[in-house]
Amino acid sequence: MTKLSKSGHIEIPQGSISYRVYQETESANKTPIIFIHGGPGVPLYGMENDFQNIASERPVIFYDQLGCGESTIKSEFESDESLWHLERFVEEFAIVRESLNLNEVHLLGISFGAMILAEYMLTKPKGVKSIIFSSPVLSSKLWAEDAERLKKKLPETIYQTIIKHESENTTDSEEYKEATNEYYKRFLCKTFNFNEILEKFTKNPNFDVYLKMWGPSEFHPTGTLKDYDVTERLCEINAPTLFMCGRDDEATPETVQLYQGEIPGAKIAVLENSAHFTCLDAKEKYYQGITNFLNEHE
């Protein structure tokens, strides 16, 4: 089990942010890497053995975004809808980095976390040695278009069930949830089902935040992020960049390759036999790819 060397909380104006630092030994002192989780509202836990090769060389840092995991919201902000906008998450991340005194750092954003990473990089921060976009959502429009194509690969009865409930605004029905699980088996994670992911690899996920910011399912954006698109500004990012995705990812290889083409010199790795959770479906190649890229830019 990868060693947890430090944990704690960082105060932000709206609450308290939990963080964890994994580091095998004090001599594992290469530049740290921060993982920015996705969701929104779905923190990463339970993967300590998987990234052991990274933690043997450098500190690996996870934090729980406001409202999920072990992070807490101050009572006076609990009904504040302004919390659930991307700009605040970027500000939150900047505070986390500053509080941990990370003058030099590598950054990795997973899924929704890629939005936070992209917006943070557009602020032109200093000391970022490299960045990794892991199965990124960088355009809600392109994501929805890809999802429509992926949905059509489902059995016709399941596809029609999804369409029916989305058009009738009955996405809270059990029938809709069962149909979405068929989509998730193919394009979210091939190794574990959705309930297993929640049980084994998250802690206190917040689906109210997910619904407010994204929507009722992975493929139906209706929340505050539904019009997000940073594609045309990716060219402003000047750090060494790696894109990673699965062959059967919701973040399709075709769209991720489009993003790659917007950042000069960016690399891409498409992992076979893998869906959106590449860190679970292809974990050995996923973490080895990260290790190799970080060492190229140490």
Residues 21-47, mean pLDDT to the nearest whole number: 95
Query: What is the rounded CA–CA span in Å between residue 132 and residue 242?
Result: 5
Residue listed under structure tokens 């970080």: 294
Q: What is the pLDDT of residues 279-298, one digit of tens each?
A: 999 999 999 999 999 999 99
Residue listed under structure tokens 């399709």: 252
CATH class of 4-296: alpha beta
Burial 177-216 (b: 16+ CB within 10 A, else e): eebbebbbeebbbbebebeebeeebbebbbeebbbbbbbb
Reported as a pLDDT band with limits 50, 70 and 90, residue 1 is low
Query: What is the rounded CA–CA span in Å between residue 2 and residue 5?
Result: 9
Reported as a pLDDT band with limits 50, 70 and 90, residue 10 is very high
Residues 6+ apart with CB under 8 A from 177: none
Q: What is the pLDDT of residues 61-73, one digit of tens each?
A: 999 999 999 999 9
Given a cut of 90, whether residue 101 has pLDDT beyond it is yes
Query: What is the rounded CA–CA span in Å between residue 84 and residue 81?
Result: 6
- Residue 2's region, left for phi above 0, alpha for psi from -120 to 50, else beta, is beta
Half-sphere exposure of 207 (CA within 13 A, CB side): 6
Q: Catalytic positions, please?
A: 111, 249, 276
Sign for the CA dihedral angle at 44, 47, 51, 56 comes to: positive
What rounded mean pLDDT belongs to the chain?
A: 96
Q: What pLDDT is stored for residue 155 in this prediction?
A: 95
Residues 140-148, mean pLDDT to the nearest whole number: 96
Q: What is the pLDDT of residues 217-246, one digit of tens each?
A: 898 899 999 999 999 999 999 999 999 999
Sorted by where each begins, the domain ranges of the chain are 4-296
Query: What is the rounded CA–CA span in Å between residue 126 and residue 217?
Result: 36
Percentage of the chain lying above the pLDDT 70 cut: 100
Q: What is the pLDDT of residues 238-270, one digit of tens each?
A: 999 999 999 999 999 999 999 999 999 999 999
Residues 84-99, mean pLDDT to the nearest whole number: 98
Q: Please say whether the beta carbons of 166 and 153 come within 8 A.
A: no
Q: What is the pLDDT of residues 189-216, one digit of tens each?
A: 999 999 999 999 999 999 999 999 999 9
Q: What is the pLDDT of residues 114-137, one digit of tens each?
A: 999 999 999 999 999 999 999 999
Predicted TM-score (pTM) of this structure: 0.96
